[in-house]
Amino acid sequence: MPRSLAAPQPLLRSLLQSRPRAQQCRRFLSTHPSSSSSPSTSSRRPTALSQQQCTTSSSNTRSSNSNPLFLEQRRYKAKTVEEARSRYRTGPFSWKAGLLFVLTSVGLVWYFEHEKKRMQRKRIAEATKGVGKPKVGGEFELVDQDGKPFSSRDLKGRYSLVYFGFTHCPDICPDELDKMARMFDLVEEQAPGALTPVFITCDPARDDPKILKSYLSEFHPKFIGLTGTYDQIKDVCKAYRVYFSTPKDVKPGQDYLVDHSIYFYLMDPEGDFVEALGRQHSPEQAAKVILDHMKDWSGSWRK
């Protein structure tokens, strides 16, 4: 063999030996196996892939530790299948959210109902007040059951419940005075000293202070009875818009009829008319109305 051809033999041998290794390396790193690959090569692929994945995860871990803005996302993992199904069944709502919703709804309903009733009471109280002077009620000068002077100024600083009647009334006045006594006791239990019960006669000719004192003591010891002259009683009845039909210049012992309105007039501490309580109100209902108006009162009280 010539010398020129003998020299490249080692180089050619090295090239032939290195080429299969490169092909084998490519097969080893390939992620798509071919049908002609040997079982030994396919059995070694998972090891190479796992090493590649480990290398990737370790590089990601190092990058996450070096990056302070890296955020780790945590996901909920259910321990059992039932727990997972229950979570997907309820969705974003829970019993705590439902309870909070119910309590909030009840609170809002109660608040709006309370404000609605309060504004209604305020409209009633404001509607009865005139410009310059009240439409119902006014100044008066009378005499109480002890014969002492009593005026509308003595009612200032407290709520007052005024009723018009007469001692010779056969049935209506006794029933209403029993009702008035019950109303007063109910209010007195929750607001002692805040209400003054007043009875004004419509029959001044027969109801003098002595008769008034004896008559009212049968219903309640704290009732205040007022009487006066015919003109004084007529004026106060007119001020309170009470129907007054008592005849004038009645002779002693003469029988006559007396008609009057059947209402309890609630007056505030300033002497202004608040509301009329009629026969449609029970003692409990009337007491509640009075107490509600007292709670709404923001003025001063008399001690």
Q: For 41-58, how does the pLDDT look when each residue is reduced to its tens digit (9 = 90+)?
A: 444 444 444 444 444 444
User: 134 falls in which pLDDT band (50, 70, 90)?
Assistant: low
**How confident is the prediction for the chain on average, in pLDDT?**
76
* Radius of gyration from C-alpha coordinates of the chain: 50
User: 124 falls in which pLDDT band (50, 70, 90)?
Assistant: low
pLDDT at residue 69 above 80? no
Give the span between the Cα atoms of 208 and 214, in whole angstroms: 10
Residue 256: predicted pLDDT = 83
Give the span between the Cα atoms of 182 and 187, in whole angstroms: 9
User: Could you tell me which of 236, 263, 300, 290 has the C-alpha nearest to residue 125?
Assistant: 290
User: 75 falls in which pLDDT band (50, 70, 90)?
Assistant: low
pLDDT at residue 131 above 60? no
Give the span between the Cα atoms of 239 and 122, in whole angstroms: 22
Share of the chain above pLDDT 70, in %: 61
Share of the chain above pLDDT 90, in %: 41
User: 217 falls in which pLDDT band (50, 70, 90)?
Assistant: very high
Q: For 5-45, how does the pLDDT look when each residue is reduced to its tens digit (9 = 90+)?
A: 454 565 556 555 555 444 444 444 444 444 444 444 444 44
What average pLDDT does range 230-245 have in this prediction? 91
Q: Which residue has the higher pLDDT, 248 or 302?
A: 248
Residue 11: predicted pLDDT = 56
pTM listed for this prediction: 0.60
What average pLDDT does range 75-89 have in this prediction? 60
Say which range, 15-24, 70-79, 104-113, 215-224, has the weakest mean pLDDT.
15-24
Residue 107: predicted pLDDT = 81
User: Could you tell me which of 146, 147, 129 has the C-alpha nearest to residue 138?
Assistant: 129
Type and span of the H or E element at 144:
strand 141-144
What average pLDDT does range 254-259 have in this prediction? 81
Give the span between the Cα atoms of 23 and 15, in whole angstroms: 13
pLDDT at residue 163 above 90? yes
Residue 118: predicted pLDDT = 64
Q: Which residue has the higher pLDDT, 217 or 66?
A: 217
Q: Hunting for tokens 């209604």 — which residue is that?
A: 120
Residues in contact with 160: Cβ distance below 8 Å, sequence separation at least 6, in sequence order: 195, 196, 197, 198, 266, 267
